[in-house]
Amino acid sequence: MSMEFLRQLPSPEEVKQAYPVSPAAAAIKAQRDREIADVFNGTSHKTVLLIGPCSVDSEPPVLEYAERLARLQERVADKLLLVMRVYTNKPRTT
């Protein structure tokens, strides 16, 4: 197998330093992680739904989708845990 090393990928710590997350966002993420874990370990009665577009090609529609999904999450919070799936590397197909 012939491979060529182009560049070393940044470590997770380097990525975290380059793109810091606010304490508020980190708290939200930690809470969501706990909620998801509770579903999978059986301490929550909710159902997790991973939903989202097949691919994305620009930021504004993704943000609009996320906002709409957040509003929907508020309406179904007693039964469902909505997790937005976003895949950005796949080119749009026709």
Mean pLDDT per 10-residue run, the chain (94 residues)? Answer: 85 96 96 97 97 84 93 97 84 58
Position 87 scores a pLDDT of 80
DSSP 8-class letter at 8: P
pTM beyond 0.85: no
pLDDT at 74: 97
Q: Which helix (H) or strand (E) segment is 32 a member of?
A: helix 23-40
Question: Under a CB-based contact definition with an 8 Å cutoff, are residues 83 and 49 in contact?
Answer: yes
